[in-house]
């Protein structure tokens, strides 16, 4: 059970990194790419810190409900859904952070 919880945590972080890495290019008039890269990295770090705290909550949920989920055959589906939700929240946090810094993503919806 602990191995599965550790796997779920790792999956959450990995998915979060994937979402953040594929978020597209950020642009801000008059700012060079080095500054943009540093600011994006800072937003990603901040989102990861929040995500790590949320992952602890998801671990607690999986630990307390894991036996029930295993009994019903929904453990993998539930933990995957939690990981996907966590990744989406982290990507949204990064996007908000960058937009708050005045960046935009040309061609983004």
Q: Please give the structure tokens belonging to residue 108.
A: 């983004």
Q: What sign has the CA pseudo-torsion 101, 52, 91, 105?
A: positive
pLDDT in tens, 45-64: 999 999 988 888 888 888 88
In a domain, 106, yes or no: no
Q: How many domains does the chain have?
A: 1
Cβ–Cβ < 8 Å for 87, 18:
yes
Distance of alpha carbon 74 from alpha carbon 49, whole angstroms: 28
Map tokens 């810094």 to a residue: 101
In a domain, 32, yes or no: no
For the whole prediction, is pTM greater than 0.85? no
pLDDT in tens, 14-43: 555 444 443 579 999 999 999 999 999 999
Q: Could you tell me the residue range of the domain that residue 79 belongs to?
A: 2-25+43-100
In a domain, 90, yes or no: yes
In a domain, 107, yes or no: no
């Amino acid at each position: 059970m602990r191995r599965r919880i550790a796997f779920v945590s790792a999956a959450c972080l990995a998915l979060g990194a994937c979402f953040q890495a594929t978020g597209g290019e950020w642009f801000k008039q008059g700012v060079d790419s080095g500054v943009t890269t540093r600011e994006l990295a800072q937003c990603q770090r901040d989102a990861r810190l929040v995500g790590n705290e949320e992952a602890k909550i998801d671990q607690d949920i999986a630990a307390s409900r894991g036996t029930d989920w295993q009994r019903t055959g929904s453990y993998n589906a539930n933990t995957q859904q939690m990981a996907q939700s966590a990744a989406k929240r982290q990507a949204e946090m990064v996007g908000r952070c960058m937009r708050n810094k005045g960046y935009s993503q040309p061609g983004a919806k």
